[in-house]
Chains A and B, each alone.
Chain A
Amino acid sequence: MMPPRWKKVLADLWVNKTRTLLVAMSIAVGVFAVGMIAESRVRMLRGLSEDYLRGDPFSGVIATEQTFDRELLNAIRKIDGVAEADARQGVTLRLKVGPNQWKTLNLDAFRDFDDIRVGKMSPVRGQWPPEDKTFVVERSAMNPALGETLAMGNSYVVETLEQKQRRIEITGVVHDLNLPPALFTGTYTGYITEDTLEWLGETRGQYGSVLFRVDKEHYFDQEYITVVAKAIRDKIEKSGIEVREIFIPPDPGESPVASFGLEPIVLILSAVGVLAVFLSGFLVTNTISGLLAQQTKQIGIMKAVGATTKQVMGMYFFLVVCFGLLALAIGAPLAYIAAGLFSDFFATLFNFNAKSYGILPEVLAMELFVSLVVPILGATYPLIRGSRITIREALASDSGAGGYGAGIIDRLINKVRGLPRPMLLSLRNTFRRKGRLALTMTTLVIAGATFIGVFCVQDSVKLSLDEFFQSLYRFDVGVDLDRKYRSRQLIQEAMSVPGVVYAETWGSIGTRRLRADGTESETIFLQAPPPDSPLIGPLLLKGRWLKPDDENGLVVSSGLVKAEEDVTVRDTITLKIKGRESDWQVVGVVKGFGNEMMAYANQPYYEREVREAGVSADLRIVTEQHDAAYQEQVQDSIEQHFREIGLNISSSTTLASEYQQTVDTFNIIIYCLLIMAVLTAVVGGLGLAGTMSMNVLERTREIGVMRAIGASDFSVLQIVMVEGIMIGMISWALGALLAFPLSKLLSDSVGTLFTGTPFSYTYSVNGALLWLGISVALAALASFLPAWNASRLTVRDVLAYE
């Protein structure tokens, strides 16, 4: 037969099911947060890293101005430090995805698909390698989020830069982890044979870039890779070919998918996981402390009938373990399912395969720790105190409804007049247990501040993008041509298109800074607008903007100054343009977006330096109206007109589409942050539900008295729910205030993580109003069940209640 004390424990669990569920849910929230985040980290980062390294990724890419042949490639392969190198030849086409809808398609051609030595791709379905006059597509182009539907087996029209059109079939799908996903670049990638390349009008064997990798010991050593890249550059330049750009990934050995955005997201989530566990530990300890405080009298009675301290402690530890096991049973499977959904969601967005490793021992160990060890630790101190209490103290104790009336807040509340009596009662009840109120509010306030903070980040991203686009992208349609044409002709032809009110051409070229010690910087994009161009109005941080009579004046972006720390206004710096060195005087620093290394020069002087007078491949157009539909309409007209007169467009864009694509990229981060805000809100909501439940339990006798003097079910329900909603509203006000510093910190961190510099900060009033609605709804929901229980108490129940 079961000893009576264990019967009491089971009865405690069973009779008060709402309380049991609330305590278990408080613990389960921590289990869920830990399980989901730790599991997702492993599924996403470990799986991605393993797949990426298996494909022999490149350590660097060197692009050349002129093409080179296999002889130079073989010479590069022999350079010390180069483990393997491959040359790539590609063709950029326009792919018709709908009526008047074109996408940029890069097709890489291979001589032998069995001899790809660097940056291997893995077949997903269909043919591999591709047959002639067909191509296999990189699978991120098929992401449903892109809107267009490419399908294997379908033929598509492609157009070369020379406006030759071909129909080409997609016969297979591959996965290439060396590329950033099409969702973020807007460019599709495919793979073809050299015969197909010739069919598309290119000459085989003329390479434009070399991909190299170093030995596996130095995969992650950026310094070593830079030295090897420079040796390759020297070799290329000695053969008389100019190097256009050297690209070494910011995190060598890590997939661009990870560096591009996944890792920062996982890192932010990891930090949130740590805070969620802290809050859960706090909530659990408080809930169990409150629970034990309620049982003090029962402890006294048990002791009076002969229970020892050890037996009492054993009983309550067992109770806590039961709560923990229940929480584990709720939280762990949910965490596993959520981690799967969460990683699959990001895997689809970032184009990688999230891997399941089954039940991970380390994750299970953490879940056991949070579900069992944390509640036991939290319960130990109050249990020791509670079980050592003497019978007299225990029986004399009163875990009642708390004192009211003495404090400043209480006196202020007493002065409130004009409210209905039940409302006044709710208001006073709210402040009866100030410690418990503070605890409930802590989680709700943090949840509110996080939620509003996420919206502040979203608004700050928009503000930064608005500033960026309004200062540097003051055109409606941008057109890149396949080669340089006479600027005057381009402008005249653009102006002849209906809807165009202004057009100008810009010069642009990739350069590198030659430092005093002889080393070279990363690629700097030098742009040359016409003097007094109305299409640029940058935000000046230092110095001044270009004057029409500036000869070698140069305005640089904040990203350039950050990377080249010694560059300041009035400095003279040397740029290497087309292999020639020229001196420029820095006259100003403008705010750029993130770490982009940009420089601006006057067009006449720029044209002299690059020795290309009056020609351009970069046309910028202002349209009569500025909405997205009109911009697209004019873009189509320009493309059609230019095609008719033989001006070959390599790509064109509208301001609206560029803006939307950038906003969409950041929205992914916002969704991720929202998940963490919701997680905190769940913790806060559970905390509130627990508080309200305890309040009702403690006030059982009061409720009985109210009912005895005629209070209806509705009045009791109203009193409890209004108290909950009041807590929700106070927490909203405090959360909205805390959101100021928190959102600034969050906005700065996200900006720095993703773009290298903090975003321009703005507070989100819409976010604050939305949270007001949610917190009131959450408070109403959290207090409904305790309120319902209270309204169903009968006078008889109450008189029997101890």
Chain B
Amino acid sequence: MSKVIRMTGMLVCLVLAVVVALLSITAGDTLYLVYLVVASLLGVAAGIIKNSGKR
């Protein structure tokens, strides 16, 4: 995977995490937990994208 694609992918994950953080402001207790799960998965995704293409 090229550096540009990796950088774009990580940025998309970061932007989505910010969107999720903003959405979580109005969320109830249960929905908030869902947002936490989504954010951590986005973090994992960003990490995988960053490390893809490496041995």
Contact = CB atoms under 8 A, between A and B. Distances in A.
Given A271-B24, A274-B24, A281 B50 contact: no
Contacts of B48: 285, 378, 381-382
Interface in A22-64: 30, 34, 38, 41-42, 46
Contacts of B20: 274, 278
A293 interface: yes
B55 A280 contact: no
B5 to A, nearest CB: 14
B22 interface: yes
Interface in A340-373: 362, 365-366, 369-370
Contacts of A399: 55
A284 B46 CA distance: 11
Contacts of B33: 38, 362, 365-366
B51 A34 contact: no
B41 interface: yes
Nearest to B42: A278
B43 A282 contact: yes
B12 interface: no
Interface string B7-45: 000000110011011101111011011011101111110
Contact of B32 (A270, A283, A284, A381): A270
Contact of A38 (B21, B26, B36, B47): B36
A281 B47 contact: yes
Contact of B29 (A34, A46, A282, A285): A46
A274 B55 contact: no
Contacts, number: 118
Contacts of B46: 278, 281-282, 285
B36 to A, nearest CB: 5
A280 B43 contact: yes
Given A277-B43, A284-B47, A285-B51, A270 B25 contact: yes
A365 B52 CA distance: 29
Contacts of A289: 47, 51, 54
A280 B40 contact: yes
Contacts of A279: 43
Contacts of B17: 274-275, 278
A274 B44 contact: no
A285 B43 contact: yes
A304 interface: no
B31 to A, nearest CB: 11
Size bin of chain A's contact surface? 35 or more
A359 to B, nearest CB: 15
Contacts of A385: 55
B42 to A, nearest CB: 6
Contacts of B30: 362
A437 to B, nearest CB: 12
A140 interface: no
A42 B29 contact: yes
A393 to B, nearest CB: 8
Nearest to B51: A289
Contacts of B32: 38, 41, 270
A435 interface: yes
A458 to B, nearest CB: 21
Contacts of A296: 55
Contacts of A397: 55
B39 A293 contact: no
A155 B30 CA distance: 49
A389 B54 CA distance: 12
B19 to A, nearest CB: 10
A648 interface: no
Contacts of A282: 43-44, 46-47, 50
Given A38-B33, A38-B36, A366-B33, A275 B44 contact: no
Nearest to B36: A277
